[in-house]
Amino acid sequence: MTTPAKADSVSRYLYLFTVFFLVLSGFGQMPIFKRYYIADIPGLGWLAKFYITHYIHYLGAILLLGVCAYYITDYFMFNFKNKKLTFSGYFKTAVIAGLTVSGFLLIIKNFADYHLPGGLIIFLDLCHLILVMLLLGFGLYSLIAKKRWTVNRQDKIKNDSQNNG
Ligand code: HEM
């Protein structure tokens, strides 16, 4: 049994919607939208309000974890036998895992009772930002080069045997 096509496209749009709002709210926390007058555009004033972008970022993180849980369950329950992760699938999975781990540690940094060393906070922040750039950069490359997350095992075996003559 494979994943119904409808569920596939809904989950794909939910993933793109979630990443879009994580990027928007993430950069909203670094108050660049005020500095570059984007928050002055009517209707976008909320982008300069730290706590609004902060809580949208947390909601986005929860949604991202939900979408990831759906994809992991779907892959191992329905697709493991007939689909294989591609290099770009593995790469993006590792980047999202890194964003989640660094994100969780940044959340702990925000707890009143936790005082992480300044150097670690800067390291976590830079990790999070570099991973964001990797996700956006590699996401764009995958879009342009039509790199998929998974490939059918049968197709891969056929291609490999054709390539090996
Ligand atoms: C596609 C995924 C994500 C993107 C694009 C993203 C983007 C960003 C960006 C641009 C920042 C600002 C960094 C800075 O201030 O230097 C940020 C901060 C943060 N992100 Fe994310 N993030 C993502 C996923 C997550 C996840 C999954 C979590 C939690 C599990 C998370 C938690 C945080 C926290 C706590 C902060 C710091 C906010 C503060 O300054 O206190 N992020 N994120």
Report field, pTM of the whole predicted structure over 0.95: no
Is any ligand 1 atom within 6 A of the Cβ of residue 105? no
Is any ligand 1 atom within 6 A of the Cβ of residue 132? yes
Is any ligand 1 atom within 6 A of the Cβ of residue 22? yes
Which pLDDT tens digit goes with each residue over 30-88?
878 888 889 999 999 999 999 999 999 999 999 999 999 999 999 998 888 888 999 99
Mapped onto helix, strand or coil, the DSSP state of residue 35 is: helix
| Residue 69: Cβ-neighbour burial (10 angstroms; 0-12, 13-18, 19+) | exposed
The structural domains of the chain, with segments of one domain joined by +, span: 1-80, 84-155
Q: Which two tokens stand for residue 111?
A: 């707890």
Report the amino acid identity of residue 144.
I
Report the amino acid identity of residue 136.
L
Question: Which residues fall within 8 angstroms of residue 58, CB to CB, at 6 or more apart?
Answer: 107
Mean pLDDT of 135-153: 91
d(Cα 141, Cα 135) in Å, to the nearest integer? Answer: 10
Give the nearest ligand 1 atom to 104 CA: 30
Contact 135, 96 (CB under 8 A): yes
Which pLDDT tens digit goes with each residue over 97-136?
999 999 999 999 988 888 889 999 999 999 999 999 999 9
The better pLDDT of the pair 21, 1 is held by 21
Give 87-144 as a 3 state SS string. HHHHHHHHHHHHHHHHHHHHHHHHCCCCCCCHHHHHHHHHHHHHHHHHHHHHHHHHHH
Is any ligand 1 atom within 6 A of the Cβ of residue 131? no
Contact 86, 159 (CB under 8 A): no
